Amino acid sequence: MKAVAFSNNDIAVAAWTFGGRIKDCLGFAIYRIDVKAGTETCLPALATFPGQDASANRTTAQDPIQKFYWKDVYAKRGGSYRYRIVPMSGKPGALVAMSIGALTTNIVQLTPAYGVLSAYFNRGILATQATAKALHSDGDLEAMKTELLRRIADPTDRLRIDLAGDMVKAMTALPLEAAAGTGKLWCSLYEFEDTQLIASLDAVAGRANLILSNMPGTVDGEKTDDTYAAERQKAKDAGVQVVDRMMPGGHIGHNKFTILDEGGAKAVQFGSTNWTDRALCAQSNNTVIARSPKLAAAYLDYWNALKADTEAGDGKGKQDAALRSADGGGPVVVELEDGSATVDVWFSPNTPKARARSHVHEATPPDLQEVFDLIAAARQAVLFVAFEPGEPSVIDAIGAAQKANPSLFVRGTVTVARAAEDFAIAIKGDAKGDSTGKPLPSGERIPVDYRVIPAEGIKDPIGVWEKELNSAGFAVTHSKFIVIDPFSDGCVVITGSHNLGFQASYNNDENMAIIKGHRALAEAYAANALDIYDHYAWRWWLATKPDTAWASLGIDDHWQNSYFDAAGRPVSPELGFWLASSPSADALPTPAAFAPVSREEPALHEIRQRHSAKRAARHHER
């Protein structure tokens, strides 16, 4: 029997096992123990037994969790918690705790800080019942979208604050630090619209240097190659030193990073989050702040290479031989200063030439070759969130890894359905999942496999569930990250602006950080990946198989059939994944009531010791 918990800056995740099937168990009540306050709260219930009203303030002691994994989206950021898991029996409406006792997890802290690296995730999932109710539109999706866009553009609006979470804090951290002192900023950005973020850059005035690429789009009903031309000019007028990097068709300057320079590069912020209110609030995104002079210096070298390439092209992004050669000679390998991890950082474009019209016999870009090799070597799990990776991409590599190792736990969420279809083809052999190889009839879609799903909200009201706004544009899951074997010392987190496909490496300005061996960071990303997948999984089942999709709690212990066979042996890949898991710190010391909350301690201490031993061994070999 075991119970473990993991967390990031936004949510906590608990998972447990009682060693097998529990006779007469109707599910689990979950209690959050606030370690600093010494209080215990039963988590809210999100589902009921058949025939019961989904009234407010119901808890999991009344409507238990019929799973072995749950996420706490109500925990407060900065808090420190344990979770107590109580098996429940009896009858719907009259549940009692079972005599076999409860399990209690390790302590987790909802913090972005993991030593040198801090990781942030927003709450940009629009397809929630809470958001549907907040938009006051009675199911009119266009009205919902209009109200949403108005509210998330206002930095003081409660809905914007809730959806953005800590992301505004993360994106403005380095600009505000520079403004408070004498530091300089070096930014490379693609989308440039959010007034709150731009104001933080303007505050640095003449000490801010911005490479701003163009983005084709429509403004006031007119097509343009530079959607943010007005914001570009305003930044120049405010004193920001703007380098206009105008990219040709088929190429984009897709970076989104900021470097803090205080007599030298000191820190860098990078990830998937563009400088728009939609990116902050209406898409799933992530960002990392690395307070690593070595990593920041690598990004600054790349910034200077982009500037030189722009100047050589008289303001156009030529992506000439010098830039491609420098990027293709990567990765820049950085051992983080606190010994917590090694980072292989890649920049794009990193192929000798741009992508040809014919994609036959394309060479795999060097950055993706490293990623593909890491995926192929996965032993425990591959978890990911992606937008539109294109073809070929990591989807093909993940499908091949799943096919080669059926026990590998794979879960992924994408915006574009074609990416999910590519995974299904990769593991089944062809579009119909059989050996005929015949194409699908016109208009018929490739059947998606449940392990990699497109992100979709509830399209039509069902029971107490209201229609949900799924997006405020095209992107739903805009993050681009992969987590490999998160509960092992060989864990890997891959993140950045790179869309994880060939197009990004061949034709775009991109950055990709491959972070190796950082258990705490891998757990944070795993929690986010499973949070997003879990949110959309039921909605996907509802859309694809409405007659068999789960609708209410089971009234007896048969809900466990999907987890165990008749002999009580585990058959669920999800349960197997959690059975094999262990947090990087089995327990953390009880934090003082007013002490800064950090999860750095003993997990990173152990990581530092391992890395010190590795460095000593390499030195001895030389």
pLDDT-based confidence at residue 579 (cuts at 50, 70, 90)? confident
Q: How far apart are CA 360 and CA 392, in angstroms?
A: 11
The more confident residue out of 502 and 573 is: 502
Task: Give yes or no: residues 26 and 131 share one domain.
Answer: no
Which helix (H) or strand (E) is 364 found in, with range?
A: none
Q: Is the pLDDT of residue 577 over 60?
A: yes
Report the mean per-residue pLDDT for the chain: 89
Residue 24 pLDDT: 96
Closest by CA to 255, choosing from 499, 26, 459, 509, is: 509
In a domain, 556, yes or no: no
Confidence class for position 487, pLDDT limits 50, 70, 90: very high
> Domain boundary residue among 511, 535, 559?
535
CATH number at residue 78: 2.60.40.10
If asked whether residues 289 and 392 sit together in one domain, one would say: yes
- The pLDDT, as a whole number, for residue 237 is 97
* Per-residue tokens: 389: 């990776």
pLDDT tens for residues 41-54? 999 998 889 888 76
Same domain, 56 and 133: no
Residues 53 and 143 in one domain: no
Domain coverage including residue 391: 114-535
Provide the pLDDT for residue 549: 61
Percent over 70 (pLDDT), the chain: 90
| Residue 528 belongs to some domain of the structure | yes
Give DSSP secondary structure letters for 39-68.
EEEEPBP----TT----TT-BTTTS-B-SS
Parallel, antiparallel or unpaired: strands 265-271 and 12-17 = unpaired
* pLDDT of 588: 38
- Quick one: 301 and 246 in the same domain? yes
Q: Is the domain of 271 the same as that of 233?
A: yes
pLDDT score recorded for residue 270: 98
Q: What percent of the chain has pLDDT over 90?
A: 76
Are residues 238 and 278 located together in one domain of the fold? yes
Q: pTM here?
A: 0.91
Confidence check: pLDDT of 34 > 90:
yes
* Whole-number pLDDT of residue 596: 31
Residue 594's pLDDT band (cuts 50, 70, 90): very low
Q: What value does the mean pLDDT take over residues 89-117?
A: 95
Backbone angle region of 177, left / alpha / beta, with phi > 0 → left and psi within -120 to 50 → alpha: alpha
Q: Are residues 74 and 210 in the same domain?
A: no
Confidence tier at 438 by pLDDT (50, 70, 90): low
- Report residue 614's pLDDT band, with 50, 70 and 90 as the boundaries: very low
Helix (H) or strand (E) holding 299: helix 293-312
Pair 144, 189 in one domain = yes
DSSP 75-115: SPTT-EEEEEEEEEEEETTEEEE-TT--EE---EE--SEET
What is the band of 478 on the pLDDT scale with cuts at 50, 70, 90? very high
* pLDDT confidence band for 593 (50 / 70 / 90): very low
- From 516, 535, 554, give the residue that closes a domain: 535
Return the closest-CA partner of residue 552 out of 32, 90, 126, 27. Answer: 27
User: Is 550 a domain residue?
Assistant: no
CA dihedral 384, 151, 128, 413 (to 10 degrees): -20
> What's the number of domains the chain is made of?
2
Mean local confidence (pLDDT), 270-279: 98
Pick from 270-284, 536-550, 555-569: least confident: 536-550
Residue 572 — very low, low, confident or very high, per pLDDT cuts 50/70/90?
Answer: confident
150 — pLDDT class (breaks 50, 70, 90): very high
Whether residue 233 lies inside any domain: the answer is yes
Interval 338-354: pLDDT, tens:
999 999 999 999 999 99
Q: Which residues contact 86 (CB under 8 A, 6 or more apart)?
A: 28, 29, 30, 31, 61, 97, 98, 102
Supply the pLDDT for residue 236.
97
In a domain, 596, yes or no: yes
Q: Do 473 and 516 form a contact (C-beta atoms < 8 A)?
A: no
Please check the confidence at residue 590 and state whether its pLDDT lies above 70: no
Domain boundary pick from 507, 535, 563: 535
Average pLDDT over residues 500-507: 98
Q: Which residues pair with 270 in a beta bridge?
A: 288
pLDDT reported for residue 205: 85
pLDDT band at 616 (very low <50, low <70, confident <90, very high): very low
Question: Are residues 62 and 192 located together in one domain of the fold?
Answer: no
Confidence (pLDDT) at 57: 84
Domain assignment present for 547? no
Domain identity same for 100 and 123: no
Identify whether residues 92 and 121 lie together within a single domain: no
CATH code: domain of residue 349: 3.30.870.10
pLDDT of residue 609: 43
Task: Report the distance separating Cα 572 and Cα 15, nearest Å.
Answer: 14
Is pLDDT above 50 for 112?
A: yes
In a domain, 548, yes or no: no
pLDDT at 620 over 50: no
Top pLDDT among 440 and 206 is at 206
Q: Is residue 118 part of a domain?
A: yes
